[in-house]
Structure 1
């Protein structure tokens, strides 16, 4: 009898365990560009929860970006990895990545529209609380979410991981509504000390609520376990590297940041 009860209890406990559900969702930006989003949520959680947009590195919407969406779902968020290039395209070659990124950045209005389309898609998901929204981004995506904050989009907060800090459209006093967390690698050769100083001056002048974290010993791409592989052999070129300590520290910082802004 005891064995039977133990079996029943074990079976019942399994029913309440987290089950991360994922799906690819096609959508379009205002200019008609076809995009593909990767949505993740925990179906063991009932009701709405805060939503987080995830913006990919210059590589495009790849497995790493999708994994981060699943990680966020595991933390109890409604997470959507959005597509800034169109058709969900991605690459592992720096030359292609540079071409994709430059094409996306060439038209700032189109880039903003693609981010907005992703944000709107996330808000439409039944699991998302449309009044509690944030965005995180990596590398190219870090710059995208910082620009979203500069534009005053209705986000509670944004987090940039080894993101681009320079911009052609700096924030103006009072324009930044979202709280900002920047996780920056102290050895990031792609973001110069002048870029860092200019960003801090820009945020101070705009009156933004921001925190800038410099992670000792971390290069560009520090959060991506594939960074070392992507910087060697046929992929040689970008000065990037994975740093486990920086990855874990920055992710913990993000979790604390979200608890603060979402309550």
Structure 2
């Protein structure tokens, strides 16, 4: 396996980056890179996917992982986005090597990562800057999508006024101590949630709608009847059985939410 390492100059948020090109290609033209970077002295490992045969710069999409951490599912979503014509970066919110195999570990990692909203934003913004600086990316066109924990992260970035074109939350927590302010929310927002999701009850759904209406945000919310938490992840059923968790994969909800996401990106990036 040939590996090429590139050092990028330090940037704000103490961002230092080393890129390692992965060996295999998902398709003949798709490239994947394992990306090591630091934020405020802590090391993180992300994953970049893009088509190096496509001409010109294209929009970039950040992928924020579930509470388990930066895993294969997050990387697969980045690859799907690359196949759809985007450069995608599956970022790391926990730190290199922090990948949970038990819900208790996932809860601990999530609690540590979110103890300070400034820390959450710093880690997100470092990844955003890294993606925007990639040779294949038009840095003025960036979206973010997140799953479960990651869905809450991207919604909070929208609440904080981060410059994004679109934000997509899949079965993410919708409540937050941060409240959107009128005129501050910049991206168009899509939220996909399960009508039978015990982790995202209906009061969170209704509160989000009111919050975003009051803030003047452009929100589209889809609730799939009878669908449970983690509906996009084919591995959810195995986890549900192993840990007796109220989660389940739903093929139709996964398909419809993905198609809705691609339509959103095509629309917001059409200029």
Q: TM-score, normalised by structure 2?
A: 0.88
The structure with the largest alpha-carbon Rg is: 1
1:116 and 2:125 matched: yes
Superposition deviation, residue 92 in structure 1 = 2.5
Among 238, 242, 255, the alignment partner of 2:245 is 238
Aligned to 2:38: 28
> Matched residues in 2 for 1:32 and 1:160: separation?
29
Superposition deviation, residue 89 in structure 1 = 2.0
Aligned to 1:57: 66
> Matched residues in 1 for 2:203 and 2:145: separation?
23
Among 234, 249, 257, the alignment partner of 1:225 is 234
Higher mean displacement: 38-47 or 69-78: 38-47
Relative CO higher for 1 or 2, CA cutoff 8 Å, sep ≥ 6? 1
Q: What do residues 153-177 of structure 1 show as CA deviations (whole Å, max 9, x unaligned)? A: 1110000000110111110111101
> Matched residues in 1 for 2:105 and 2:227: separation?
25
> Matched residues in 2 for 1:186 and 1:33: separation?
38
* Contact residue 185 and residue 216 of structure 1 kept, 8 A: yes
Aligned to 1:130: 139
Give secondary structure in 2 for the equivalent of 1:160: strand
Superposition deviation, residue 88 in structure 1 = 4.5
Give secondary structure in 1 for the equivalent of 2:221: strand
Aligned to 2:104: 95
> Matched residues in 1 for 2:46 and 2:130: separation?
8
Among 22, 30, 41, the alignment partner of 2:50 is 41
Structure 1 segments, 4+ long, off by >2 Å, are none
Aligned to 1:156: 165
Superposition deviation, residue 39 in structure 1 = 0.4
Greater per-residue helix proportion: 1
5+ residue gaps, structure 2, are 1-26
Q: TM-score, normalised by structure 1?
A: 0.91
> Matched residues in 2 for 1:91 and 1:42: separation?
30
> Matched residues in 1 for 2:95 and 2:167: separation?
23
Greater per-residue strand proportion: 2
Superposition deviation, residue 75 in structure 1 = 0.3
Among 143, 148, 151, the alignment partner of 1:139 is 148
What is the Cα-based RMSD across aligned positions, in Å?
1.1
> Matched residues in 2 for 1:88 and 1:68: separation?
20
Give secondary structure in 2 for the equivalent of 1:232: helix
Superposition deviation, residue 217 in structure 1 = 2.1
5+ residue gaps, structure 1, are 1-16
> Matched residues in 1 for 2:199 and 2:97: separation?
25
* Contact residue 184 and residue 213 of structure 1 kept, 8 A: yes
Cα distance, 1:254–1:88 mapped onto 2, change above 3 Å: farther
1:253 and 2:253 matched: no
> Matched residues in 1 for 2:248 and 2:175: separation?
21
Question: Counterparts in 2 of 1:184-199, with a 5 A limit?
Answer: 184-199=193-208
